[in-house]
Chain A
Amino acid sequence: MKTNKKQKNQIPYAISIFLIALAICAFLWKYNYKYIPYWIIGIGFGVTLRYSRFCFSAALRDFIILRNIKLLKALLLAMMVSTVGFGIIQYIYLENNPIDYIRIPGSITSVGPHIAIGAFIFGIGMTIAGGCSSTILTRIGEGHAFPWVVSLGFIIGNILGANNYSFWYDKIISNTKVIYFPEYVDLRIVVILQLVVLMILYRIASGYENKKN
């Protein structure tokens, strides 16, 4: 990549924002120290998403449309790391606690038509808006204007969704159940099986990438 000399050096601004972030850390330490991990990890997510140009919407969409396999492989790597980590955390939790979907550390919810519908319309929405949730936040940090509009849409959409939820609940969701794999198979085996599945998907993706080149 060649560089044009018109570029203004913005590193001093970066350092200023970083110092403000540190100041906020100190403030949170006094105000509510429990918020500090969220602040730091949030910044970690933001820096990582931006520097690696990681886009969930692209990872989910482009491997079919554009045959962009590299992002999908990176997503699979993220899944593999998370699988191991979450597996350990849930294993430790379940040693001393019963299976209660709401309390188990993780995101466990029932499966049914509402998931299919919700995910499908989310897929449409993220493509026409120009990015999924994480991408929108990243774009705000880059100075774009459109993600602010999308964020307004998020607020409206979430409120509408919460308001309408009883309709969906009565019609569909209350009749669905949770399928939490460790309820049927030992958690350790689930972790290994899921890792194997993800690795197979990774291999298939690599194979497809090499074939194309």
Chain B
Amino acid sequence: MAVRELNCLYEPCPIPLIKAVKELKTMQCGDILVLRSDQSCIGVIVEEWGQQNNYLVRVVDLENGEWEIYIQKP
């Protein structure tokens, strides 16, 4: 089970999600992608997307205004 990090700080929506989807396509089942972003909407949007596509998503609040989003490929 590999863990990959994707730093999307300072990139506005929807770029972090587009990049995450691209990256996840190259990953194996069970792998985890850690997406780092400073967009306030990204947590809710990735959670929605995860629900629609059966990916497990966990959002973690980091220091002021940054989030780490853990996405696991099913």
Binding site for B on A (CB under 8 A): 1-4, 6-8, 10, 50, 53, 55, 57-58, 61-62, 65-68, 70, 127, 129-131, 135, 139, 142-146, 212-213
Contacts and interface: CB of A to CB of B under 8 A. Distances in A.
B30 interface: no
Interface in B12-34: 12-15, 17
B60 interface: yes
B40 interface: yes
A4 B62 contact: yes
Nearest to B46: A66
A146 B12 contact: yes
A129 B15 CA distance: 10
Interface residues of B, number: 24
Contacts of B63: 4, 6-8
A67 B52 contact: yes
B45 A142 contact: no
Interface of B: 10-15, 17, 38, 40-41, 43-45, 48-49, 51-52, 59-65
A68 B62 CA distance: 25
A139 B40 CA distance: 9
Contact of A130 (B13, B17, B61): B13
A208 to B, nearest CB: 10
A65 B60 CA distance: 25
A1 B45 contact: no
A70 B41 CA distance: 13
Contacts of A139: 12
Contact of A6 (B12, B51, B59, B62): B62
Contacts of A62: 14, 45
Contacts of A131: 12-13
B13 A55 contact: yes
A66 to B, nearest CB: 5
B52 A1 contact: no
Contacts of A130: 11-13, 15
B51 A2 contact: no
Given A130-B13, A131-B13, A212-B52, A68 B45 contact: yes
10 contacts: A1-B43, A1-B59, A1-B61, A4-B62, A50-B40, A58-B45, A66-B52, A68-B49, A130-B12, A146-B12
